[in-house]
Structure 1
Amino acid sequence: MAQLKVESAGKCMYCESFVDDVSYAAVEHVRPKSKFPDQVLEWGNLGIVCTRCNTNKGSYWTDDESLTLINPYQDDVEAHLSFHGPMTMARVGSSRGENTVRKLQFSQRVDLLISRAAQMENLYTLITAWATAEDGSELKELRAEDVRAAIGKGVEYAGVLRAFARRSGFPVTGD
């Protein structure tokens, strides 16, 4: 489990919460071990999840590829999901995105929405400081470094924060 935590930056593969901050980590079997016992130890089938996402997903699996949950380690998340403020929404026309949001109950988890909103508020302060600094100044570049650090892939809720930064006019790179 230690290596999985390192590779995921300690974040739940689905909601991006720091797992140890909200509960105990669980090893996720993307393809449930009850239905795919031969894949229990396959590295590509494993991830770290929080107990909320783990409980919500349970042993869910479907052979209908249009309804499989998004695997953030293998799928292009932004092809199926979009972030609007602290909300995670399915992209129009993505049944996989819709099923992922429904099954993991992203819209009903008020605690998750509040945590994301708090991070967005902090980011808003950093983006405002960057936006109001004089173009071409050293201060502007220092403020940009602060924003880049706040939206790095290892931070909690990176997907939500990067989308917010993009919408706020900050040039997000390295997606």
Structure 2
Amino acid sequence: MRSVPKVDKPEVLASNEEIWIEEYRKDPGNSTKKYRYRHRDIKEALKNETGFKCIYCESKIGHNTPGDVEHKIPSSVCIDKHFCWENLTIACTECNRRKNAYFDEGVPFLDPNEDTVEEMVEHLGPIVIWKPGHERAEVSIRILELNGHNRAQLIFRKIEKIEEVNNLFERYQREASPLLKRVLEKQLISMADPTSEYSGMVLDILEKKGLTNQSTRSP
């Protein structure tokens, strides 16, 4: 998990948000009116915003895992935010299912669009933990099970990424050719780019190895 800046509201939502919410309030049981936030342009904008990743676990979203448009604050809590752009994000099915309708006004779920996530969480290998004193981070990580519990497939994929980074870094260290060394360094830095899979974890690995680049940090 890492901070993700919010992109501009897509035109289809900017043009229709007020009409859609008015119609939905009048007929909340109508599926067509309820699920207009799944419009292709809205979903594509959210995918582009996160780099085609789940905003929480950073797994890439693709054909096999299409991703779910997720309400940060559930509509059952605030129907007025049902089509609110700032309340919409995209998550993998596993994270969306775990978060479900969580809402606690006193302990809000982490919002990577608003929160400086890097100040609240840290990476220990493939698992994510919370920094001391950050209750919201602890609650969010425990609910999403990003600390390893019952997320075997996620942990396995992150271990593969760690091995890939470590192998490439070892090659980078051994390389005698200045040109190839620069190419390998660029490749490593690109793996920590905000749009890359598990980039929060990769950035942490590279920082510990003393290899960082300002462009890999979230805005």
**TM-score scaled by length of structure 1:** 0.92
Output the CA distance in 1 between the equivalents of 2:93 and 2:63. 11
1:7 corresponds in structure 2 to: 49
Q: Of 210, 213, 218, which aligns to 1:169?
A: 210
Residue 109 of structure 2 corresponds to residue 80 of structure 1: no
Q: Is the 8 A contact 1:123 1:161 kept in 2?
A: yes
Output the CA distance in 1 between the equivalents of 2:55 and 2:92. 8
Measured after TM superposition, the shift of residue 134 of structure 1 is 4.2
What amino acid is aligned across from residue 214 of structure 2 in structure 1? T
What amino acid is aligned across from residue 116 of structure 1 in structure 2? K
- Runs in 1 of length 4+ with deviation above 3 angstroms? none
Percentage of matched positions with identical amino acids: 27
Q: Of 193, 196, 199, which aligns to 1:155?
A: 196
**TM-score scaled by length of structure 2:** 0.74
Q: Is the 8 A contact 1:166 1:172 kept in 2?
A: no
Output the CA distance in 1 between the equivalents of 2:212 and 2:50. 24
Larger Rg: 2
Measured after TM superposition, the shift of residue 133 of structure 1 is 2.8
Which digits, 9 at most, give the CA deviation of each residue in 1:63-115, with x for residues without a partner?
10xx2111111111111110111110011111011101111111211111110
1:24 corresponds in structure 2 to: 66
Unpaired segments ≥5 residues, structure 2: 1-42
What amino acid is aligned across from residue 168 of structure 1 in structure 2? K
- Within a 5 Å distance, the mapping from 1:75-114 to structure 2 comes to 75-106=115-146, 107-108=148-149, 109-114=151-156
Q: Of 108, 114, 130, which aligns to 2:172?
A: 130
Q: Of 174, 183, 186, which aligns to 1:145?
A: 186
Residue 51 of structure 2 corresponds to residue 33 of structure 1: no
Residues 139 and 121 of structure 1: is their aligned pair in 2 closer, same or farther, counting only changes over 3 Å? Answer: same
Q: Is the 8 A contact 2:54 2:61 kept in 1?
A: yes
2:94 corresponds in structure 1 to: 52
Output the CA distance in 2 between the equivalents of 1:118 and 1:3. 29
SS of 1:20's equivalent?
coil
Q: Which has the higher contact order (CA 8 A, sep 6+)?
A: 2
Residues 99 and 22 of structure 1: is their aligned pair in 2 closer, same or farther, counting only changes over 3 Å? Answer: farther
2:111 corresponds in structure 1 to: 71
Deviates most, 110-119 or 148-157:
148-157
Q: Is the 8 A contact 2:110 2:136 kept in 1?
A: yes
Output the CA distance in 2 between the equivalents of 1:71 and 1:50. 15
SS of 1:83's equivalent?
strand
Output the CA distance in 2 between the equivalents of 1:98 and 1:149. 29
For these two proteins, the number of residue pairs brought into alignment is 172
SS of 1:88's equivalent?
strand
Output the CA distance in 2 between the equivalents of 1:110 and 1:151. 23
CA-based RMSD of the aligned residues comes to: 1.5
Q: Is the 8 A contact 2:121 2:129 kept in 1?
A: yes
Deviates most, 124-133 or 98-107:
124-133
Q: Is the 8 A contact 2:189 2:212 kept in 1?
A: no
